[in-house]
Amino acid sequence: FSRRQSEIRIEADATVQPNGLLRLTDQKPNTIGTTFYRKAVRLLESHINASVRSFSTCIVFAINPTSSKEGGYGFTFTLSPTPYRRRAGSGQYMGLLNNITNGNPRNHVFAVEFDTVQGFKDGSHRMGNHVGVNFNSLQSDFEGPVLFYKRKQKEELLLQTGEPVKADILYDGNTKLLNITVYPAKMTPSPVRPMISRPVPKLSRIIEEEMYVGSTAATGKGERSSAHYIMGWSFSSGGEHPVATKLNLSDLPRPPTNTSEKSAYSSKEIGLIVAVSAVTLILIAMRYKELHSATDGFSEERIIGSGGFGTVFRGSLSSSLSDQIAVKKITEGSEQGIREFVAEIESLGRLSHKNLVKLRGWSKRNANMLLVYNYIPNGMLDSLLHSVPRLTGTVLSWTMRFDIAKGIASGLLYLHEEGEQIVIHRDIKASNVLVDEDMNPRLGDFGLARLYERGSHNGYPSSASDVYSYGVLLLEIVSGVSPTKFINFKLPDWIMAFYSNGEILNSVDHRLEACYDTEQARAALVVGLLCCKQTPQCRPSIAMVISYLNEEDGIPNIDETWGVSTSSTTVPTPLSLSGTQTG
């Protein structure tokens, strides 16, 4: 940046160092730094045509945390109506907004955040490592742990190690699709598959005709601070497929060596030991050697599932059916995997309900961490809905579907209202529901769950987010259509189109033919839509959902407050999926 310094505007603690490295913040507490390209960029086609033009940016950055703590808070790539962010706050506000402007629709600010501290506005401020997409707010519309794809396998990437990281952000104005790819800057070739790929139709409500392109960063209180460096940055917009100039790592100025004394992995292991110790009285610590033997040395032939942060193996402790187990082996070196390991033990280790997966025990040897569950023979609900079930060889019957839907709701009621603590699951979907030999559903995968003490209403998220996810799942169970089927709109919007036309039963899975209870199906679909109301406060509690499904209370009509999903680019019609209703 030394030769281009006249083209950028830097404010607050941002500075261009002699070697051309742009430092947004140093490691001092409660600082911010911003940089913007001095000239406004035209991002709308015209006043009449408010379509957002395609754009592409490439950023190479490095984050060095303090030597003794976790560091924080991260930085953003930002589209702003001004080339500065006056009165923006530090810490969780990341030099972008403050407690007054956050969430104001007049901000006209779009940001991709590279966040190293989680817990915005819930008071926890725990270690994070994620990328989020924000519109006028620091509350991300969607986010995900930082990962990249290498030879079709997910690999986690830590943001604040001091090593150069490259981010490619591409927006296609025709499809309104936003792709974000984050990966080690030294990696060649770059990943083909992005970590985030989502339509962002609301961007057109954010972007003004001319915007300023730049970055913001902030540190937090005490030692929650990191130095944020931008080594190189390119941007391009307009045309059919603008491509930002590729940045060669060897041509870029290097950031200072990371002198952090702590290893993120070892600090997480310390937290892991503490968390595990708190529940060892009610959860069995199992011998690693026994589990190694039960899975034939974690043989590939024993794999029954895999994800970004772990692989699940089928195991046998003995020849007895009751000793058939599923062993989840956390991916070594995965910080997110460690967090999910802790969350599973903290939540499932304390819970017991017929509609929740049973966590039998855990094991840890060096960097190898294992979670042990009862083996559930019928597998995941999504495979039963969208492929031939392994048990019956036929499509799931209506009775089975309705009972499964009510069983999941029963498990959620226990989490929200009946357990010792309030548990918000935060990841309810068909692939996280397992179905046992009696076709009883069991909600699992508590890696994102949060626990809160009853009677303490300060800061914990509303159960309405779980209710929304349950509503989508209920609609999927009845319609047989996967929520991932759509690009321009969401499943609830498609079902709502049938409802509005007075033909909601036409959205029932056609593979059931006429073999279903019409009143139950109508009730389930309407309840699913009620759960998906855009205003969280208007959604029913899970207790009310159960009451509706059991016909104990009358189901209210859906009124004009329902609202189309904010991420839908078009309002669907019942014909939008005509002929393809197979999931």
List the binding residues. 329
The answer to whether 308 and 193 are in contact (CB under 8 A) is: no
Report how far residue 268's alpha carbon sits from residue 127's, in angstroms, rounded to the nearest whole number.
10
Report how far residue 225's alpha carbon sits from residue 70's, in angstroms, rounded to the nearest whole number.
8
Read off the DSSP letter of residue 371: E
**Token pair of 273, please?**
């030991």
Report how far residue 223's alpha carbon sits from residue 67's, in angstroms, rounded to the nearest whole number.
9
Report how far residue 448's alpha carbon sits from residue 458's, in angstroms, rounded to the nearest whole number.
19
In a 3-state reduction of DSSP, which class is residue 400? helix
What length is written for the chain? 583
In a 3-state reduction of DSSP, which class is residue 580? coil
Catalytic residue among 427, 493, 509, 553: 427
Strand boundaries in 375-449, DSSP class E: 422-424, 433-435, 441-443
In a 3-state reduction of DSSP, which class is residue 392? coil
For residue 189, cis peptide bond before it (omega within 30 degrees of 0)? yes
The answer to whether 191 and 60 are in contact (CB under 8 A) is: no
Q: Report in angstroms the alpha-carbon separations of 341 from 115, 303, 328, 360.
A: 21, 19, 9, 14
Report how far residue 356's alpha carbon sits from residue 415's, in angstroms, rounded to the nearest whole number.
9
Closest CA to 131 of 144, 121, 147, 141: 144
Q: Is 403 a catalytic residue?
A: no
- Contacts of residue 346, defined as CB under 8 A and 6 or more positions apart, other chains included, come to 275, 278, 279, 451
CA 572, distance to chain mean position in Å, is 25
DSSP β-ladder status, 74-80 and 210-218: antiparallel
Closest CA to 282 of 336, 331, 345: 345
Report how far residue 44's alpha carbon sits from residue 42's, in angstroms, rounded to the nearest whole number.
6
Q: At what angle do helices 264-279 and 335-348 cross, to 10 degrees?
A: 10
Q: How far apart are the first and last CA of the chain?
A: 50
Does the CA dihedral 392-394-395-401 come out positive or negative? negative
Report how far residue 412's alpha carbon sits from residue 13's, in angstroms, rounded to the nearest whole number.
47
Does the CA dihedral 105-106-108-111 come out positive or negative? negative
Report how far residue 12's alpha carbon sits from residue 120's, in angstroms, rounded to the nearest whole number.
23
The answer to whether 409 and 545 are in contact (CB under 8 A) is: yes
Annotated binding site for ATP: 329
CA angle 476, 146, 463 (to 5 degrees): 45
Q: How many helices (H) and strands (E) does the chain have?
A: 10, 27
Residues carrying an active site annotation: 427
